[in-house]
């Protein structure tokens, strides 16, 4: 009997601690952000994680991505592009979701694209013009110098053209070189934001209306520059669920979808914009 009591003495506190940890990690008790507010999701790569690498948070596995799409479809989420979101946001149904992808990784074509066709989804790809042989990770933090992202295969122009022609994807601007807008002068900002827009419009023969700030970093003048250059909206890197599209049209928050999250975390992000209590 004494052994049983000792075991209960040890196990009960541990189980209570585990319950507390689980509760705060996933905040299952949190109230959902009203589903009248669209969810703008931010992805980068759709690929399996690579052990020992720095940027696995940017890699959502194909299996997890399909599970997310399947859940969205089964739970009657309405897929839109950013153009559709901006043009019709006051008339969109509850449970509307915009899938967005940053940078232009080749797996967006080989993995995300066929899965999105399978589930009737659409999305917006924020495409860097000079995406090949460009290690932009160091422009945010100098110690991000692993060379991992520069080695990651990027989309070809032919692949981009096919994705857009299919109607599954639209393209948004993401600067010419994936610059850190807070580290360059105003003239260079104009060039990075305007030249990429013009080049994409020429290549795709369509208006490029949406813009994503590289790294989600922007200066106080940058939203006005984006508007002046003819963009109709601009998105941040994170921030959660956007609740005022009109007010924040050039600073739209997105829900970060991390390759380090499990499926419960994804569902919590769809509910509240965060994985758990704090983030």
Which element (helix H / strand E) includes 264?
Answer: helix 263-272
How many angstroms separate the CA atoms of 100 and 228, rounded?
23
Predicted local confidence at residue 28, as pLDDT: 60
Confidence of residue 139 (pLDDT cuts 50, 70, 90): confident
pLDDT tens digits for range 180-224: 999 999 999 999 999 999 999 999 999 999 999 999 999 999 999
pLDDT above 90 as % of the chain: 79
Instruction: List own/partner pairs for 106-109 with CB under 8 A and 24 or more apart.
Output: 106/152, 106/153, 106/154, 106/155, 106/156, 106/159, 107/45, 107/46, 107/47, 107/153, 108/45, 108/46, 108/155, 108/163, 109/155, 109/159, 109/160, 109/162, 109/163
How many angstroms separate the CA atoms of 270 and 41, rounded?
9
Confidence of residue 178 (pLDDT cuts 50, 70, 90): very high
pLDDT tens digits for range 45-66: 999 999 989 999 999 999 999 9
Q: Is the pLDDT of residue 17 over 70?
A: no
Q: Nearest-CA neighbor of 175 among 215, 203, 207?
A: 215
The β-bridge partners of 211 are 173, 234
Task: Please give the mean pLDDT across all residues of the chain.
Answer: 91
Predicted local confidence at residue 8, as pLDDT: 46
Q: Is the pLDDT of residue 13 over 80?
A: no
Q: Are 72 and 79 in contact (CB under 8 A)?
A: yes
Residue 211 Cα to chain centre, angstroms: 13
| Least confident piece of the model among 26-40, 70-84, 243-257 | 26-40
Predicted local confidence at residue 1, as pLDDT: 47
Q: Is the pLDDT of residue 140 over 90?
A: no
How many angstroms separate the CA atoms of 14 and 6, rounded?
13
Q: Are 211 and 234 in contact (CB under 8 A)?
A: yes
Could you give the dihedral angle defined by the CA atoms of residues 53, 57, 75 and 211, in that order, rounded to the nearest 10 degrees?
-120
How many angstroms separate the CA atoms of 140 and 68, rounded?
29
Measured at the alpha carbon of residue 269, what is the angle toward residues 268 and 274, in degrees to the nearest 5? 100
**Domain at 33-272, CATH class:** alpha beta
Predicted local confidence at residue 209, as pLDDT: 98
Which element (helix H / strand E) includes 40?
Answer: strand 39-43
Return the residue matching tokens 């209306």. Answer: 209
Query: Rounded to a whole number, what is the largest CA-CA distance in the chain?
Result: 80
Predicted local confidence at residue 67, as pLDDT: 98
pTM of the predicted structure, to 2 decimals? 0.90
What would the DSSP string read from start to end of 192-249? HHHHHHHHHHHHHTS---EEE-GGG---TTHHHHHHHTT-SEEEEEEES--S-TTTTT
Measured at the alpha carbon of residue 193, what is the angle toward residues 189 and 196, in degrees to the nearest 5? 135
Predicted local confidence at residue 249, as pLDDT: 97
Instruction: Give all strands (DSSP E) within 58-152, no chain letters.
Output: 59-60, 78-80, 96-103, 123-127
Q: Are 26 and 12 in contact (CB under 8 A)?
A: no
């Amino acid at each position: 009997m004494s052994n049983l009591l000792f075991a209960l003495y040890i196990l009960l506190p541990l189980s209570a601690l585990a319950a507390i940890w689980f509760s705060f990690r996933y905040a299952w008790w949190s109230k959902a952000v009203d589903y009248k507010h669209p969810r703008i999701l931010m992805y980068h790569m759709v690929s399996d994680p690579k052990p020992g690498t720095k940027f696995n948070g940017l890699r959502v596995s194909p299996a997890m991505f399909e599970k997310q799409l399947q859940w969205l479809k089964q739970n009657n989420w309405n897929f839109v592009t950013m153009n559709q979101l901006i043009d019709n946001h006051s008339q969109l149904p509850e449970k509307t979701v915009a899938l967005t992808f940053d940078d232009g990784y080749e797996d967006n074509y080989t993995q995300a694209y066929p899965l999105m066709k399978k589930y009737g989804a659409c999305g917006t790809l924020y495409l860097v013009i000079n995406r090949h042989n460009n290690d932009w990770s160091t422009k945010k933090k100098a110690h991000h110098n692993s060379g991992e992202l520069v080695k990651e295969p990027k989309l070809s122009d032919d692949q981009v053209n096919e994705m857009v022609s299919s109607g599954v994807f639209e393209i948004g601007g993401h600067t010419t070189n994936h610059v850190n807008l807070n580290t360059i002068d105003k003239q260079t900002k104009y060039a990075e934001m305007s030249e990429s827009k013009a080049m994409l419009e020429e290549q795709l023969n369509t208006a490029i209306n949406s813009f994503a700030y590289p790294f989600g970093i922007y200066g106080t003048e940058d939203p006005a520059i984006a508007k002046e250059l003819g963009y109709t909206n601009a998105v941040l890197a994170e921030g959660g669920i956007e609740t005022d599209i009109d007010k924040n049209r050039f600073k739209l928050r997105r829900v970060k979808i991390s390759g380090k999250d499990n499926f419960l975390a994804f569902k919590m992000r769809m509910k509240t914009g965060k994985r758990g209590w704090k983030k």
